[in-house]
Amino acid sequence: MNDPANILEMRSMTKTFGGVRATDNVSFEVKDRAITALIGPNGAGKTTVFNLMTNVFPADEGDVIFLGKSIRGIPPMAVAGLGLIRTFQSARVFPGLTVLENVLVGRHRLVKHSGGSQLLWTRGSRGEERELRERALAMLDLVGLSQFRNIHAVDLPMGGQKMLEVVRALMSRPRLLCLDEPAAGLNDTETAELAILLQAVRAAGIAILVVEHNMSLVMNIADHIVVLDAGSVIAAGAPAAVQVDEKVIEAYLGREENAAA
Amino acid sequence: MAEFIQISIGGLLVGTIYALIALGFSLIYRVTGMINLAQGGFAILGALVGYSFSQSLGLPLPIALVGAVLVTTAAGTLLGALTFVPGLKKLSNANVLMLTVGMLTLIEGFLLVIWGSQPYSVPAYTGEEPINFHGILIPTQTFWIVGTAVAIILCLWLLLAHTTLGRALRACAENSGAAMLMGINVRRMTIFSFALATMIAAIAGVVVAPTTTFQFDTGRLFTISGFIAVVIGGIASFPGAIVGGLMLGLVTQLATAYVSSLFSNAIALIILLFILIYAPTGLIPSRIVRRQDVREEPRAWGHITRLSPTVAWSAAALALCGMLLLPLLVTGTIISSLTIAAIIFIALIGLDLLMGYTGQVSLGQAGFMAIGGYTAGYLTINYSVEPLIGIVAGVLISLICALVLSIVTLRLRGLYLALATLAFGLLIDSCAVGFIDITGGPSGMVGIPPFSVGSLYFDTPLSMYYLVIGVNVVVIFLLFGALRSNFGRALQSIRTDQMAASALGINIVRYKLVAFVASAGLASLSGSLLAFSFNFLSPDMVGTNRSLELVSMLVIGGEGTLVGPAFGSILITLLPTIFQPLALYKTMFSGGLLIICFLYLPRGIYGLIAALLSRISPRTDGNTERSEGLVQGASR
């Protein structure tokens, strides 16, 4: 059943909020080393899927298989520890830290030297810190944020904060990167840069699951598309196939317009 | 039986007072989601103004009382409008709570300046002769207090349930954002609720005054009791505030009568801890639920300054040289004061780790100082152990206590955590006063030997000064290594956004625990050194006042900056020594300074100095560094 080409499998996930079925029997796969897009109209349950995946709240039914193992019910911190890193719909950079420091926090789960050796200024921990900073600067350079490295992260414009969050997630060397509307609040230039960045990430062998409203971005970069409507998966497949799927058109445009067309 | 009824009546009387204070808490909480700890201060302000009007000016009693309530309400509302209301917009929840501590300190300082430190008492309104009801004596003031309480509750209920104004207030409580969109002036409503709560406190103070003696800092007790009452009852619920207050009064009075006065506090605090752990919403939960700091909105964050390593290291070296050479320049009294400031600074570093970096409020830090001080003192006096072993024993006990406390309070955030730590501090405080055989009770522990290692004695002020400076340097050096690395960043990310932090794989529970335990260890060390330095330790040196003072010093110095709190510690400790005649103004000054720092200097004195240093220091050439980074990044 478990296909090694799938890095993540959602199996019949159901979550009810006070009688409302936020997700209903949602199943889909995320292929390794590919970009999968999760799309759907507002309120379709996309963010709920993210929260169920990372166990921000527990699912009522169903299972999540990540790297061949069930991760249902393990705390968000441990999910991240396995290499499933997510971002948030509204950019959540850490206030009180500079841009550079925000990126460094991303590396947290991979830091080898403990607080104890940092306390004692050991050679190893200092070396690791220096290496970390270089890597973080290189990452910031990649997205054109390095000139802002010492400013307060919340002083960045919205687009910069979204980009910073992606970079921070990348710093933690994810196996699967889950992005919740990364292009929201970005202008066209920034969106184009984001597309290039995401393709580079895929080329580096990291799988991406992206929730996005920007259709041109999705059609441009996604290898697979999963369409969610009213808490259920209504279509899944390659962009070209999904684009002409009648159910998808109906969900986005409504029945009347579809009939008129 | 008659005795039981007699005591119960006394308990209900005290409970009514707590309930009135709690009612004010609950009112402000409903509208703003915050607790105003200055509430008890307003009560005493009312009582003292009433005293002056009726006793000193000789005004007729009704006029004096109404005048006192009006004056207090006006003054309180003004203070609230100038500090609390702007604070709500700018500060995080935890910091607003601390801001109200500053307001309480300011009020107390003001009362101290005007009315001095002596206790006051006023006669009952209608004679001192109690009414004898089948052998049970009821003081006539009881009827005034209960009558006033019932009248207040009735008026409040009518106001909230049956007027447009009340509806607007409730709208603010349910959803202030939506209320604003509906055209309700939320700011005005906040001020109005603050005024109303102040008035309730003032009335409570005025009617309660005849039943007790009171002085400038009695308000603190009212605040603490009211705070406990409101949490027992349910923080946003009016019936909860009343039930909580009455229950607290009853339990403490019965416990005092039938067990002992030591255990009356302890029992109240244990009830509180149980409620915090098992039913944090209180006995009568309200529908109004306010989220406690899952994610801190980025409103508290002004500009942040990071000094370049060169500047930071030179400044540190300069400061260290200054500290080492200082004894050549100034008198012994100043050196003694500086020694105390430096000892307190050790506890402050711990508190900074906990509050400044991790964002966990602690109002009971002096409890650990007490554990450290008393343990070290007791062991060295009674078992003649090496002082160093005494210190280590104190630290170990503190670590264990901190571990237990933090595991118990792990789920608590914001206000509730503040309260739990406050309760812990009070518990330790009442132990220090009560276990006379071990601690020497209220009069203190005498005959603690000076600190020594082997045959090396630190018995002169100068040697103690250098020892403490040495300890400071070591602690700062060690922590600086951790705080500028991964460890410190993890703490800071937890402070501001726990959800995002855990999504990056940061173990929130572990880091909070480490921060809490480390801060307890440092506080304990500080307490031990304080005991060795004075050769004496009394409960008020390491009591709740000290805990609150630590918070003031932290904020004034600059939280989240590691070395910043030193400025706060030195300023607050040293100023009264240098300006002896102004010592009377110390409390008022530190309260005012705390408020100013919260509202206008979020990084305290350190922030000012750092901004200054980074302006005069030459800019590092960012371009070179950047291209280096690019080259290294590309080669990877």
Residue A118 to residue B560, Cβ atoms within 8 A = no
Residue B490 to residue A134, Cβ atoms within 8 A = no
Total count of residues recorded for chain A: 261
Distance CA B489, CA A94 (A): 10
Average pLDDT for residues B105-111, to the nearest whole number? 94
Query: For position B124, what pLDDT does the model report?
Result: 85
Average pLDDT for residues B135-164, to the nearest whole number? 88
Residues A88 and A174 in one domain: yes
Distance CA B399, CA B577 (A): 34
For β-strands A207-211 and A35-39, DSSP reports them as parallel
Residues A193 and A83 in one domain: yes
Residues A117 and A88 in one domain: no
Per-residue pLDDT of A133-172, as tens digits, reads: 999 999 999 888 989 988 888 888 888 899 999 999 999 9
Q: Is the model more confident about B581 or about B620?
A: B581
Q: Is the model more confident about B264 or about B429?
A: B429
Distance CA B10, CA A108 (A): 57
Indicate the residue among A110, A131, A155 that finishes a domain.
Answer: A155
Is B281's Cβ below 8 Å from some Cβ in A?
Answer: no
Contacts of B482 in chain A (CB under 8 A): 115, 118-119
Residue B479 to residue A119, Cβ atoms within 8 A = yes
Contacts of B559 in chain A (CB under 8 A): none
Query: For position B617, what pLDDT does the model report?
Result: 67
Residue A115 to residue B301, Cβ atoms within 8 A = no
Query: Has residue A162 been placed in a domain?
Result: no
Question: Which chain B residue is nearest to residue A150, measuring alpha carbons?
Answer: B306
Residue A118 to residue B301, Cβ atoms within 8 A = no
Residues A179 and A256 in one domain: yes
Question: Which chain B residue is nearest to residue A117, measuring alpha carbons?
Answer: B482
Residues B395 and B524 sit within 8 Å (Cβ to Cβ)? yes
What chain B holds in terms of domains, given with CATH numbers, is: 2-217 (no CATH), 315-616 (1.10.3470)
Residues A106 and A222 in one domain: no
Residues A83 and A187 in one domain: yes
Is B301's Cβ below 8 Å from some Cβ in A?
Answer: yes
Query: For position A244, what pLDDT does the model report?
Result: 87
Query: How near does any CA of chain B get to the CA of A187, in Å?
Result: 24
Is B504's Cβ below 8 Å from some Cβ in A?
Answer: yes
Average pLDDT for residues B524-530, to the nearest whole number? 97
Residue of A95, A118, A146 lying closest to B482 (CB–CB): A118
Residues A124 and A230 in one domain: no
Please determine, for residue B226, whether its predicted confidence score (pLDDT) is greater than 70: yes
B296 band by pLDDT with thresholds 50, 70 and 90: very low
What DSSP assignment string belongs to B108-147? HHHHHHHH-SS-B----TT-S--EEETTEEE-THHHHHHH
> Does residue A29 sit in helix, strand or coil?
strand
Query: How near does any CA of chain B get to the CA of A205, in Å?
Result: 15
Q: Which helix (H) or strand (E) holds A129?
A: helix A123-142
Query: For position B78, what pLDDT does the model report?
Result: 95
Query: For position B177, what pLDDT does the model report?
Result: 76
Residue of B303, B492, B630 lying closest to A138 (CB–CB): B630
Contacts of B306 in chain A (CB under 8 A): 98, 150
Query: How near does any CA of chain B get to the CA of A122, in Å?
Result: 9
Residue A105 to residue B506, Cβ atoms within 8 A = yes
Residue B489 to residue A104, Cβ atoms within 8 A = yes
Residues A198 and A80 in one domain: yes
Mutation choice for A interface testing from B504, B508, B517 by most A CBs within 10 A: B504
Contacts of B495 in chain A (CB under 8 A): 96
Contacts of A97 in chain B (CB under 8 A): 489, 492-493, 496
Query: For position B280, what pLDDT does the model report?
Result: 74
Residues A182 and A211 sit within 8 Å (Cβ to Cβ)? no
- How deeply is B182 buried, as exposed, middle or buried, from its count of CB atoms within 10 A (0-12, 13-18, 19+)? exposed
Phi then psi dihedrals of residue B6, to 5 deg: -55, -45
| Six token digits for residue B584 | 């009377």
Q: Model pTM?
A: 0.88
Residue B506 to residue A108, Cβ atoms within 8 A = yes
Contacts of B560 in chain A (CB under 8 A): 96
Question: Which chain B residue is nearest to residue A82, measuring alpha carbons?
Answer: B505
Q: Which helix (H) or strand (E) holds A228?
A: strand A224-229
Distance CA B397, CA B395 (A): 6
Residue B633 to residue A141, Cβ atoms within 8 A = yes
Residues B415 and B235 sit within 8 Å (Cβ to Cβ)? yes
Query: How near does any CA of chain A get to the CA of B79, in Å?
Result: 29
Residue A107 to residue B486, Cβ atoms within 8 A = yes
Is B634's Cβ below 8 Å from some Cβ in A?
Answer: yes
Residues A195 and A241 in one domain: yes
Judged by phi (left if over 0) then psi (alpha if -120 to 50, else beta), residue B33 lies in left
Indicate the residue among A132, A155, A178 that finishes a domain.
Answer: A155
Phi then psi dihedrals of residue A184, to 5 deg: -65, 130
Residue B306 to residue A150, Cβ atoms within 8 A = yes
Residue A94 to residue B504, Cβ atoms within 8 A = no
Distance CA A193, CA A172 (A): 21
Lowest mean pLDDT among A216-230, B261-275, B425-439: B261-275
- Integer CA distances (angstroms), B179 to A227, B34, B173, B195, in order: 37, 18, 9, 20
Distance CA B336, CA B576 (A): 13
Running DSSP on this structure, what letter comes out for residue B307?
-
Residue of A77, A95, A146 lying closest to B298 (CB–CB): A95
| Nearest alpha-carbon partner for B601 in B562, B560, B563 | B560
| Nearest alpha-carbon partner for A235 in A220, A250, A221, A222 | A250
Residues B438 and B374 sit within 8 Å (Cβ to Cβ)? yes
Contacts of A86 in chain B (CB under 8 A): 503
Residue of B486, B487, B622 lying closest to A147 (CB–CB): B622
Residue A115 to residue B514, Cβ atoms within 8 A = yes
Residue A108 to residue B502, Cβ atoms within 8 A = no
Query: For position B550, what pLDDT does the model report?
Result: 94
Query: Has residue A160 been placed in a domain?
Result: no
Residues B281 and B234 sit within 8 Å (Cβ to Cβ)? yes
For β-strands A20-31 and A6-17, DSSP reports them as antiparallel
Q: Which helix (H) or strand (E) holds A193?
A: helix A188-203
Q: Is the model more confident about B472 or about B185?
A: B472
Residue A101 to residue B622, Cβ atoms within 8 A = no
Judged by phi (left if over 0) then psi (alpha if -120 to 50, else beta), residue B285 lies in beta
Mutation choice for B interface testing from A141, A147, A161, A175 by most B CBs within 10 A: A141
| Nearest alpha-carbon partner for A149 in A131, A170, A135 | A135
Query: How near does any CA of chain B get to the CA of A204, in Å?
Result: 12
Mutation choice for B interface testing from A56, A92, A110, A155 by most B CBs within 10 A: A92
Is B619's Cβ below 8 Å from some Cβ in A?
Answer: no
Per-residue pLDDT of B159-193, as tens digits, reads: 888 888 888 887 877 777 777 788 888 888 889 99
Distance CA B25, CA B240 (A): 11
Contacts of A88 in chain B (CB under 8 A): 499-500, 503
CB atoms inside a 10 Å sphere around CB B561 = 24
Q: How far apart are the first and last CA of chain B?
A: 85
Average pLDDT, chain B: 86
> Does residue B473 sit in helix, strand or coil?
helix
Residues A242 and A181 in one domain: yes
> Does residue A254 sit in helix, strand or coil?
coil
Is B614's Cβ below 8 Å from some Cβ in A?
Answer: no
| B486-496 vs A99-106: helix crossing angle, rounded to 10 | 100
Domain span at A146: 99-155
How many domains does one find in chain A?
2
Query: For position B622, what pLDDT does the model report?
Result: 41
Residue B304 to residue A96, Cβ atoms within 8 A = yes
Residue A96 to residue B508, Cβ atoms within 8 A = no
What DSSP assignment string belongs to A36-102? EEEE-STTSSHHHHHHHHTTSS--SEEEEEETTEE-TTS-HHHHHHTTEEE--SS--PPTTSBHHHH
Please determine, for residue A82, whether its predicted confidence score (pLDDT) is greater than 60: yes
ipTM: 0.90
Please determine, for residue B344, whether its predicted confidence score (pLDDT) is greater than 90: yes
Please determine, for residue B636, whether its predicted confidence score (pLDDT) is greater than 70: no
| Nearest alpha-carbon partner for A41 in A254, A257, A200 | A254
Residue A108 to residue B490, Cβ atoms within 8 A = yes
Residue B499 to residue A56, Cβ atoms within 8 A = yes
- Which CATH number belongs to the domain containing residue A15 in this structure? 3.40.50.300
Chains A, B: CB pairs < 8 Å: 141
Angle at B625 between CA B623 and CA B627, to 5 degrees: 70
Query: For position A260, what pLDDT does the model report?
Result: 43
Query: For position B255, what pLDDT does the model report?
Result: 86
Query: For position A258, what pLDDT does the model report?
Result: 46
Residue A141 to residue B502, Cβ atoms within 8 A = no
CB atoms inside a 10 Å sphere around CB A243 = 15
Q: What percent of chain B has a predicted confidence (pLDDT) above 70?
A: 94
Running DSSP on this structure, what letter comes out for residue A27?
E
Query: How near does any CA of chain A get to the CA of B359, in Å?
Result: 11
Running DSSP on this structure, what letter comes out for residue B497?
B
Residues A144 and A175 in one domain: no
Residue of A77, A96, A142 lying closest to B506 (CB–CB): A77
Query: Has residue A111 been placed in a domain?
Result: yes
Residues A10 and A78 in one domain: yes
Please determine, for residue A195, whether its predicted confidence score (pLDDT) is greater than 90: yes
- How deeply is B6 buried, as exposed, middle or buried, from its count of CB atoms within 10 A (0-12, 13-18, 19+)? middle
